[in-house]
Amino acid sequence: MSWSTSKIPDLTGRRALVTGATSGIGYETALELLRHGAEVIIAARNPEKSQRAAAKLAAASGREEPEILDLDLADLTSVKKAAGQFEHDHLDLLVNNAGVMATPYRQTVDGFELQIGTNHLGHFALTARLLPLLLKAENPRVVTVSSFMHKTVSSIRQADLRAENGYAKWDAYSKSKLANLLFMFELDRRARAAGSNLLSAGSHPGYARTHLQTSGPQLGGASREARVVSGFTNLVAQSAAAGAWPSLYAATEPGVRPGSFIGPSFFEYRGKPKVVSPTKAAQDPELAQRLWAWSVEATGVDAF
Asked if residue 16 has pLDDT above 60, the reply is yes
pLDDT value for 209:
63
CA–CA gap between residue 260 and residue 278 (Å, rounded): 10
Gap between the terminal Cα atoms of the chain: 34
pLDDT value for 229:
47
Asked if residue 231 has pLDDT above 50, the reply is no
Q: Which of 1-10, 191-200, 229-238 has the lowest mean pLDDT?
A: 229-238
Asked if residue 114 has pLDDT above 80, the reply is yes
User: Across residues 186-198, what is the average pLDDT?
Assistant: 97
User: Across residues 42-49, what is the average pLDDT?
Assistant: 97
Strands 15-19, 67-70: pairing kind: unpaired
Asked if residue 230 has pLDDT above 60, the reply is no
Asked if residue 226 has pLDDT above 60, the reply is no
Q: Each residue of 251-278: pLDDT tens digit?
A: 999 999 999 999 998 767 779 999 999 9
CATH superfamily of domain region 7-207+240-297: NAD(P)-binding Rossmann-like Domain (3.40.50.720)
User: Across residues 121-140, what is the average pLDDT?
Assistant: 98
CA–CA gap between residue 191 and residue 186 (Å, rounded): 8
Total Cβ atoms within 10 A of residue 85: 10
Q: Where are the domains of the chain?
A: 7-207+240-297
Asked if residue 213 has pLDDT above 60, the reply is no
Asked if residue 223 has pLDDT above 70, the reply is no
Alpha helices in the chain (DSSP H): 24-35, 47-61, 76-85, 114-116, 123-134, 169-193, 212-219, 223-236, 240-243, 245-252, 285-299
User: Across residues 215-223, what is the average pLDDT?
Assistant: 56
Q: Each residue of 275-301: pLDDT tens digit?
A: 999 999 999 999 999 999 999 999 999
Give the contacts of 11 (CB within 8 A, at least 6 positions apart): 33, 36, 37, 38, 252
User: Across residues 38-45, what is the average pLDDT?
Assistant: 98
Residue 234: pLDDT band with limits 50, 70, 90: very low
Asked if residue 205 has pLDDT above 60, the reply is yes
Contact 153, 115 (CB under 8 A): no
pLDDT > 90: what percent of the chain? 86
Catalytic residue, chosen from 27, 173, 207, 249, is 173
pLDDT value for 216:
52
pLDDT value for 268:
75
Is 27 an annotated catalytic residue?
A: no
Q: What is the pTM of this model?
A: 0.92
pLDDT value for 134:
98
Q: Nearest Cα to 149, choosing from 130, 164, 168, 128?
A: 168
Contact 114, 175 (CB under 8 A): no
User: Across residues 148-164, what is the average pLDDT?
Assistant: 98
Asked if residue 208 has pLDDT above 60, the reply is yes
Residue 238: pLDDT band with limits 50, 70, 90: confident
